Structures are given as structure tokens and as C-alpha cells.
Chains A and B, each alone.
Chain A
Amino acid sequence: MAPEAEFELGAIAIAEALKGRTIGSTTVEDARGLVDIDSEEATAIFLQLFLSEPEGETWPLEDNMALRAAVLDAIAQLELPPVSVYVRLIPLTPEPLDEDGRLFA
């Protein structure tokens, strides 16, 4: 199998492994894995984790770190060729941004 195809399948598998998991007070409500080019111009997996609303301004640090450890574990289980995996944490209903953030609207 070509590495890109393996990465595509890996991205889906990592997202599936994380979806629905609750770590501390944080639940992964949804997860998406995409394959794209990173800042090193290498093919990489970009994981988007849609999380339950944090109780404070952000999620607890322990949950954040445990989520990242869970992602590293999921990668290790898959035995993929070496690939970078980047994680973005996204609230289900993000706080709206100021008008300055709408340059392309």
C-alpha cells in the first residue's frame, strides 16, 4: 500500500479510536483525521478533536495532556510508517471572534 493511502486509513483509525472517549472531565464528542502537508512540507496527519465545553476558559491541563498521550498510544498501535500527527482541540460551540477575524467573510 502507498504510504499516503496508509496515512489516510491511519487518520481515520486514530479519529475513531478517540471518538467518544472521556478523559477526566473532557469528552471527545467528535473527531476527524485529515492528511495534508505540514510546515516541514511532509505528508502528515491532522487530527481535529471536537471536545465538550470546558468548565472554565479552557480544558484542564491534565485532560489536555492525557488526550495527547492517548493520540500517541493510538499511533503506536497502528504501526504506521513514521508520520507526524498534529492535534487541534476545538470546542463544540466556540466563543465567537471579534469582527477582525472575518477578513474573508
Chain B
Amino acid sequence: MARPIEPAELLLQANQLASRGKTTPPRTVDLRQAVSSAYYALYHCITRQVTLYILPQAQSSERYEFVRHFKHDGILQVCNWILRQNDQTPAQTRECSSTMRTSKELLTIADTFKQLQQQRHQADYDHGAEFTKEEVLGVIQLSTAAIEIIMRLSKVNPITLRCDPTFELFAAHVTLKAQMRPV
């Protein structure tokens, strides 16, 4: 039986790590792992909800297989198009990126994903990076808020049978950036 990766469980883990030791100082290793878990909670929420949008009638085993094709840097690239940061938006996606940019909620998701991915990188690899309990708890809050937005935008309207139109654009472009892993 599959035991899927649950974003809510990752957030719970992040909170437990960051809040450990009410009476003793937090441990660096716990704060770093909390940042990493907060990022992965958001990553897995995005890929899961995008997969549900792309394959609404698939079996869960088919969705767990499909979800592996998403790439961290592919999602980041779409976030860059929305935020107009780093990447020049390709001409073929300019109109769609412009529409995505009109959604404050999508801007929040893109900004949070980008910030968290950079912080995860520092948390996991940069020995010189410093984290405080205050900042890490803030990072977990941001991840939680972004996940709530994704869940809201990706919810299918029972009458129109569609989800938020800007989320549809986001999901389509994240899928475009997905790639089959080499066998």
C-alpha cells in the first residue's frame, strides 16, 4: 500500500522541529531541517494539485507515477515568469504569464516557492548560513499560507467543473516544464 508524502505532515514536522525545546535553545540542525520540510511541503502540494488537475480521473497509483515527472527547476522557471525575475519570459508564454501576474494569490505562491527553494538550498548545503527560530517559524507560516491558497485555487467548482482560471494556467505551464526521467 502506498504511503504518500503528505504536505500537512511535512508542515507538522517542520513546526515540531522549529518549536523543539521550549526551555532550551533551538538546535541549528533542527532549524535547517524545518526549512527543508517547509519547502518540500509546498513542492509536494503544487505537484499533487497540478496532477489532480491534469489527471482528474486517474487512479492514485497512476498519479503517484505521473507526479515524479515534475522538476523543481521547472516550477521555479514558471514562478520566475510570474514574478518577472531572473528569467526573460519566452515570447510563447508572454500572454499567459501576463494573465498569471494579475492574480495576487499566484504571485504569493510564486514568491513563496522561490524564497523557500533558495532557503532550502542554504539550509541543506551552506555551512555558513544562519537561521533563527523566529525566521524559521515565519518560513513555515508562509509555506502553510501558500498551501492554503493552492488548495483554494485548485478546488473544482461543482457547477462549472473548473478550478480558478489562473491556477489552470499555472498548472498547464508547470506541466509543460515537466520532463520524463531517464530510465
Contacts and interface: CB of A to CB of B under 8 A. Distances in A.
Interface in A63-105: 64-65, 68, 72, 75, 82-91, 94-98, 100-101, 103-104
Contacts of B138: 58-59, 61, 64, 89
Contact of B135 (A40, A88, A97, A101): A88
Say what secondary structure dominates the interface of chain B: helix
Please classify how large the interface on chain A is, using the bins under 10, 10 to 19, 20 to 34, 35 or more: 20 to 34
A57 B134 CA distance: 6
Contacts of A54: 134
A42 B118 contact: no
B25 A68 contact: no
Interface residues of B, number: 39
A29 to B, nearest CB: 13
B76 A40 contact: yes
B145 interface: yes
Interface string B94-117: 000000000000011001001101
B142 A40 contact: no
A44 interface: yes
Contacts of B84: 82
Nearest to A76: B84
Contact of B25 (A83, A88, A97): A97
A38 interface: yes
A42 B86 contact: yes
B6 interface: no
B28 A84 contact: no
A88 B131 CA distance: 9
A19 B25 CA distance: 29
A84 B85 contact: yes
A95 B25 contact: yes
- A-B pairs, 6 with minimum CB distance: A101-B28, A58-B137, A39-B121, A94-B132, A98-B27, A84-B86
24 contacts: A39-B122, A44-B86, A57-B134, A58-B133, A58-B134, A58-B141, A61-B138, A61-B141, A64-B141, A72-B107, A72-B111, A82-B80, A82-B85, A83-B86, A88-B119, A91-B132, A94-B132, A95-B134, A97-B25, A97-B31, A98-B24, A98-B25, A98-B28, A101-B28
Given A68-B108, A82-B87, A101-B28, 20 more contacts: A39-B118, A40-B73, A57-B19, A57-B133, A59-B134, A59-B138, A64-B138, A64-B141, A65-B145, A68-B111, A82-B84, A84-B85, A86-B115, A89-B138, A94-B132, A94-B133, A96-B25, A97-B28, A98-B28, A101-B27
